[in-house]
């Protein structure tokens, strides 16, 4: 019995040994892409505890993030081994058999159950990390102008090769309408996404892609499979069928790690304020200039907001209700009407606004700008407009804190009814 225990113990301990120190120390360091290191980390390595192979990167990331769990697995294993083999151990050292043996047997079975539970938890975490690591295998095609932003890369590259250079936001759209809305928002926020060093990949359920985009998936089917593996425990979206017409998204950090994912259309503004904050910023703010229909309407809106002119505000508001404001109200959020927002003691009279831009698509338009509050905080503002009888009317107005390194905890959403302020839960959702 003892002769069998020793090699088994050695194998178990080896399973929790961290990879080479050089690799472990440099994996998360913000350094340029290293093809040799990434190739090494992508190679499979056998894990004696789960009895399967994982990428070396998966084991590195697990060991860096989980210090106590491997120890619990080892302790449960050794305890189960000692209790279940108590008679053999006693015989090997010449000691009397333990009494009462049934208690040792039950304790050993309980320890074995604990070992299996901890082992399963470890395997699930490794599986999640493995799926995230596999996202790096996805290939994208870049237009020549976009490829020049990433020196040393060809116009076709893997997401792994973009690590330390760019974040990634991938969006899955079930139909043409959602795809059009997605591409419109991308164009409206193009400059803000550039400030956050974020590339955006869009794919439609029928395989259509945005041919005008700077970055597109080389094979849309690979991205569909990736969504299934990331968002479902059983990878049921591997052969994705849009029976339920669901949209989905995931975001990757500079290190290529998943920092957020979910079903439904992504809220671009919330992502830019939290998971994808800007890396750079424009200072000082260029003032609002107007000059086009949507930008002129934007200037009227801010003049009314800072002066408290309720009539001017009503003149620029549309008669439609913003879906995101309605959804928040249905969830129990509190709405402050414009009458309250524009009172002398409530309106942002000292607000500075500038760095505006626009995107127009037929009868719909989008404007963005940066707001500076009296205490020096910067906010990204995003307005949606519709053309009514030749005049641009505001459908929605949203703001969120926007600065390098920020983790926005609140967002403001407004429509013709007024505004609601939402704060962030731990899981990243927004609540009143």
How many Å apart are CA 110 and CA 108, to the nearest integer? 5
User: What is the predicted pLDDT for the residue at 330?
Assistant: 92
Instruction: Give the chain's domains with CATH numbers.
Output: 2-136 (no CATH), 138-266 (3.40.30.10), 293-431 (3.10.450.50)
Residue pair 247/265 in contact by the 8 Å Cβ criterion: yes
Do 263 and 166 form a contact (C-beta atoms < 8 A)? no
Which residue has tokens 């979206």? 237
Location of structure tokens 């703001």: 399
pLDDT at 326: 94
**Distance of alpha carbon 352 from alpha carbon 146, whole angstroms:** 33
Cα separation of 63 and 153, whole Å?
31
pLDDT at 165: 85
Q: What is the mean pLDDT of each run of 10 residues along the chain (432 residues)?
A: 35 35 36 68 85 87 81 86 80 76 84 89 85 82 83 81 87 86 91 90 77 81 71 48 67 85 85 86 76 93 95 95 92 93 91 92 94 86 95 95 75 94 55 36
Model pTM above 0.85? no
Please answer whether residues 395 and 402 qualify as being in contact, where contact means their C-beta atoms are separated by less than 8 angstroms: no
Burial state string for 164-200 with b = 16 or more CB within 10 A and e = fewer than 16: ebbbbbbbbbbeeebbeebbbbbbbbeebbebbbbbb
Sheet containing strand 258-263, strands side by side? 198-204, 167-173, 248-252, 258-263
Query: Residues in the chain, how many?
Result: 432
First to last CA, the chain: 62
pLDDT (0 to 100) of residue 231 = 62
Question: What is the token pair recorded at 89?
Answer: 């151990």
């Amino acid at each position: 019995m003892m002769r069998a225990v020793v090699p088994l113990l050695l194998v178990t301990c080896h399973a929790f040994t961290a990879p080479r120190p050089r690799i472990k120390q440099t994996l998360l360091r913000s350094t340029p892409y290293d093809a040799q290191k990434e190739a090494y980390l992508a190679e499979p390595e056998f894990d004696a505890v789960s009895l399967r192979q994982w990428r070396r990167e998966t084991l590195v990331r697990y060991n860096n993030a989980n210090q106590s769990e491997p120890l619990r697995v080892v302790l449960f294993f050794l305890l189960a081994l000692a209790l279940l083999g108590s008679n053999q151990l006693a015989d090997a050292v010449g000691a009397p058999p333990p009494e009462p043996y049934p208690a040792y047997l039950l304790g050993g079975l309980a320890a074995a159950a604990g070992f299996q539970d901890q082992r399963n938890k470890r395997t699930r975490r490794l599986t999640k990390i493995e799926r995230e690591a596999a996202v790096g295998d996805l290939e994208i095609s870049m237009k020549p102008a976009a490829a020049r932003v990433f020196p040393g890369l060809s116009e076709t590259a893997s997401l792994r090769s973009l690590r330390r250079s760019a974040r990634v936001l991938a969006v899955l759209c079930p139909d043409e309408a959602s795809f059009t809305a997605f591409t419109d928002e991308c164009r409206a926020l193009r400059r803000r996404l550039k400030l956050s060093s974020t590339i955006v990949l869009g794919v439609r359920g029928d395989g259509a892609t945005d041919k005008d985009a700077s970055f597109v998936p080389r094979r849309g089917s690979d991205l569909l499979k990736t969504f299934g593996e990331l968002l479902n425990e059983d990878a049921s979206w591997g052969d994705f069928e849009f029976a339920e017409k669901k949209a989905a998204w995931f975001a990757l950090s500079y290190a290529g790690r998943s920092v957020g994912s979910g079903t439904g259309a992504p809220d671009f503004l919330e992502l830019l304020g939290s998971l994808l904050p800007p890396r750079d910023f424009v200072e000082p703010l260029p003032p609002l200039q107007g000059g086009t229909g949507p930008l002129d309407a934007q200037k009227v809106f801010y003049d009314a907001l800072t002066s408290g002119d309720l009539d001017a505000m009503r003149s620029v508001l549309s008669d439609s209700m913003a879906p995101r404001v309605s959804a928040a109200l249905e969830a129990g959020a509190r709405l402050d009407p414009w009458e309250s927002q524009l009172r002398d003691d409530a309106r942002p009279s000292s607000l500075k606004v500038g760095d505006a831009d626009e995107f127009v698509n037929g009868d719909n338009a989008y404007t963005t700008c940066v707001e500076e509050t009296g205490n020096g905080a910067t906010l990204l503002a995003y307005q949606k407009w519709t053309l009514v009888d030749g005049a641009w009317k505001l459908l929605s107005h949203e703001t969120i804190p926007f600065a390098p390194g920020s983790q926005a905890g609140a967002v403001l959403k407004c429509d013709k009814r007024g505004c609601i302020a939402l704060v962030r839960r731990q899981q990243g959702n927004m609540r009143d």
